[in-house]
Structure 1
């Protein structure tokens, strides 16, 4: 897997979130449906317009759910890096300063990103010497055609 290490100071993202179960791989079915809904209702276009941070694109942000003790539930955000007052109708999330392993992902969505996540946890982490830092992880998407076989995206995993 091709990756680089990046260090970033804290930053803010704005967007919307949904509680997602990943028991029985429900997230693999639910998250692509949510992206379709957010594209249709204009949320994704709004977030591309708001993007004014270092990370260019719209983000899928995976965070631990603070409202449940279940390890089978997470909050999934569609968001963008944004420096400013949180726009009406959106929520904000502070992303802490971190060292990130940034993985290149090439291929059509959602298959390419799902395959990359599996490889990161089943192959890269066991052999890398790094551990997940326990803070939000990011998926970074461009405004290109996500069905393209050449679609480029990234996964940012906080590590220590």
Structure 2
């Protein structure tokens, strides 16, 4: 699998909203949440907040999966948001992710298919204690999306 390692040395402060997702239906539920966000204008609000003043690699629409990378519960919160340092609008929540090291994979759907069963066992890394982040970049960005997985080197 194609990947790169990135280190973000500061806290990521995100603004957005969380939605409950059943782990067994995650792909379908998450897709439905993004479709609803597009229809009700929430996605455009996130875009307007994110792309005005890029400051880091994670300038995109972000989908934060649960509380840590090992999603083992029957249900988790999927947080749709953007990196945002100001006070969020009143209808949004905040989420803070500590400084972390990330394995970054192009193409979110391909990465999820192979992450736990193929890449992780052979990688020399183990999962970190923060959530995975799906990044959906602005138009014309290559790649169009990436999966950021928190990792630490195996001892």
Q: TM-score, normalised by structure 1?
A: 0.82
Quote the residue 1:47 is aligned against: 46
RMSD: 1.9
* 2:102 is equivalent to residue 100 of structure 1: yes
In 2, are the aligned partners of 1:144 and 1:151 still within 8 Å (CA)? no
Give me the whole-angstrom Cα distance separating, in 2, the residues matched to 1:36 and 1:144. 17
Unaligned runs of 5+ in 2: none
- Structure 1 residue 86: Cα displacement: 1.7
Residue aligned with 2:149, SS: strand
Give me the whole-angstrom Cα distance separating, in 1, the residues matched to 2:138 and 2:60. 7
Number of matched residues?
143
Unaligned runs of 5+ in 1: 106-112
Residue aligned with 2:66, SS: strand
2:135 aligned residue (140, 149, 154): 140
- Give the alignment of 1:9-158 within 5 angstroms: 9-22=10-23, 25-51=24-50, 52=53, 53-54=55-56, 55-64=58-67, 71-105=73-107, 113-144=108-139, 152-158=144-150
- Structure 1 residue 134: Cα displacement: 2.2
Q: TM-score, normalised by structure 2?
A: 0.85
Residue aligned with 1:93, SS: strand
In 2, are the aligned partners of 1:64 and 1:73 still within 8 Å (CA)? no
- Structure 1 residue 151: Cα displacement: 6.3
Residue aligned with 1:6, SS: strand
Give me the whole-angstrom Cα distance separating, in 2, the residues matched to 1:14 and 1:87. 8
CA-to-partner distance for each residue in 1:56-84, whole Å, 9 max, x for gaps?
A: 2100111239xxxx722111011001111
Give me the whole-angstrom Cα distance separating, in 2, the residues matched to 1:151 and 1:104. 6
